[in-house]
Amino acid sequence: MKIGIVGLGYVGLPLAVAFAEAGHEVSGLDLDPAKVEALNAGRSYIEDVPDSVLAPLGERLRASADYADLAPCEALIVCVPTPLTSSREPDLTYLLEAAASLSEILRAGQLVVLESTTYPGTTRERLTPILEECGLALGADFHVAFSPERIDPGRTDYTIRTTPKLVGGMTPACTERARELYALVCDEVVVVSTPEAAELSKLLENVFRSVNIAFVNELAQLCDRLGIDVWEVIDAAATKPFGFMRFDPGPGMGGHCLPVDPFYLAFRAREQNFYPEFIELAGKVNQAQPAFCVERIERTLNQASMPVKGSKVLVLGAGYKAGSGDTRESPALVILRLLAALEADVSYHDPFVPELPELGLASVALEGALAGTDLAAIVTAHPGIDYAGVVASAARTIDFRGVTRGIDADNLERL
Ligand SMILES: NC(=O)c1ccc[n+]([C@@H]2O[C@H](COP(=O)([O-])OP(=O)(O)OC[C@H]3O[C@@H](n4cnc5c(N)ncnc54)[C@H](O)[C@@H]3O)[C@@H](O)[C@H]2O)c1
């Protein structure tokens, strides 16, 4: 098949590669000329897609910034960003622009699938009317479906092939075409009755995580008051073989999904005069977590009779999750900003994030930095770092990820 992928980011590029690896001809479309140029030169910009994966694909994966190049495609999959506005409401600008561009090139026989995470009703009420402006009849001339992306960057035990794929079309014919499309690259395709059911399923998956992370973050704050080790409590509870699912506390939530998606559902709920308490509360608790971490840093320095102002604080990990250089909504950035506002002498080390221009910082070498630091804060626990060595070299260490469990030292504290 000839398949077009609109938006070649964390979601679109791995999907494009999956179809090309399965022998299909993929036209990738992105408005960012640097991405288009990199891909056509065989260079990847996503950690999960090494250059060595692109090389054998050759002409089966080509990138372009011109929507006209998508005209020959039988299926068009949209993977553009769906962020929040500054007032934390859904920002569908990218999606609506992509839809308008697609409506100009849409032709009979094409299937359009939206993969971007969004609130229930987007495919029917926002995407489809724009596509219909091309004059073709939905369900007869062209087809539309929603299929949420379930990618978890960095994960290798579940892939696009082995993760069941949900599809919900605007009509039964739309659903069937989407099912056939994803059966090319996924072992299991799960059909739901409407795009709304598929849209809401994705939000349920992410809100479920957000609520549970908020709950353990709150438990960590309570354990701090009670003087109980939260990690020991969670390890103990996790020995129950049924009825308990482990979630770990941390410095807060990051990435494009968990801090953002619940607000999409809350927005839709408010439109119905419904106020979803769990979603809002989880967002509130998780957003407050970086400030709690900074308070712990202040307290640790205070115990050593040191003010935050002027103290050398080294933040380990700037990406939002281990093994990733993605800094979107990363709690590490909030912690760095809060520390800088308190006039701490802040620096960071992250092998995946060479610089943070918005903060005027560049990653420092770990060895040199540790010796002179007053406090090392483990915010994102990237693999390959010797955390026992960090504790041994830094004057004091505070661990917000639980990676120093098993190390007992007077100069070490944990969330
Ligand atoms: N990153 C994840 O782990 C993940 C997981 C599941 C779902 N999602 C969802 O998938 C969607 C995409 O996320 P992402 O992480 O891949 O974003 P991304 O920012 O990495 O990639 C999106 C790409 O779309 C391009 N783009 C923007 N507007 C465009 C337009 N009008 N036409 C063509 N290209 C355009 C951007 O240049 C960018 O390269 C979002 O809705 C996100 O919530 C992301």
How does DSSP assign 25-67, residue by residue?
EEEEE-S-HHHHHHHHTT---STTS-HHHHGGGGGGEEEES-G
Q: How many other CB atoms are there within 10 angstroms of residue 197's CB atom? A: 14
**Ligand 1 contact, 97 CB (< 6 A):** yes
Listed residue (153, 17, 22) closest to 77, CA to CA: 17
- The whole-angstrom separation of Cα 169 and Cα 176 is 8
Give the torsion sign (CA, 222, 227, 231, 236).
negative
Torsional class of 297: left (φ above 0), alpha (ψ -120 to 50), beta (otherwise): alpha
DSSP-derived secondary structure letter, 136: P
Q: Whose CA is nearest to atom 28 of ligand 1?
A: 94
**Ligand 1 contact, 217 CB (< 6 A):** no
Phi, psi torsion values for 238, nearest 5 degrees: -70, -5
**Ligand 1 contact, 67 CB (< 6 A):** no
Q: Are 223 and 230 in contact (CB under 8 A)?
A: yes
Tens-of-pLDDT digits for all 415 residues of the chain?
A: 999 999 999 999 999 999 999 999 999 999 999 999 999 999 999 888 999 999 999 999 999 999 999 999 999 999 999 999 988 899 999 999 999 999 999 999 999 999 999 999 999 999 999 999 999 999 999 999 999 999 887 788 999 999 999 999 999 999 999 999 999 999 999 999 999 999 999 999 999 999 999 999 999 999 999 999 999 999 999 999 999 999 999 999 998 888 889 999 999 999 999 999 999 899 999 999 999 999 999 999 999 999 999 999 999 999 999 998 999 999 999 999 999 999 999 999 999 999 999 999 999 999 889 989 999 999 999 999 999 999 999 999 999 999 999 999 999 999 9
To test the pocket of ligand 1, the residue of 30, 78, 126 to mutate (highest count of ligand atoms within 8 Å of its CB) is 30
Report angle CA 188, 192, 198 to the nearest 5 degrees.
95
**Ligand 1 contact, 7 CB (< 6 A):** yes
- The whole-angstrom separation of Cα 45 and Cα 186 is 24
Phi, psi torsion values for 332, nearest 5 degrees: -60, -35
- The whole-angstrom separation of Cα 182 and Cα 218 is 40
| Angstrom distances, CA of residue 73 to CA of 183, 270, 294, 383 | 17, 38, 51, 40
| Angstrom distances, CA of residue 185 to CA of 21, 22, 188, 255 | 9, 7, 9, 26
- The whole-angstrom separation of Cα 170 and Cα 196 is 9
* Ligand 1 centroid – CA 14 distance (Å): 12
Q: Whose CA is nearest to atom 33 of ligand 1?
A: 30
**Ligand 1 contact, 295 CB (< 6 A):** no
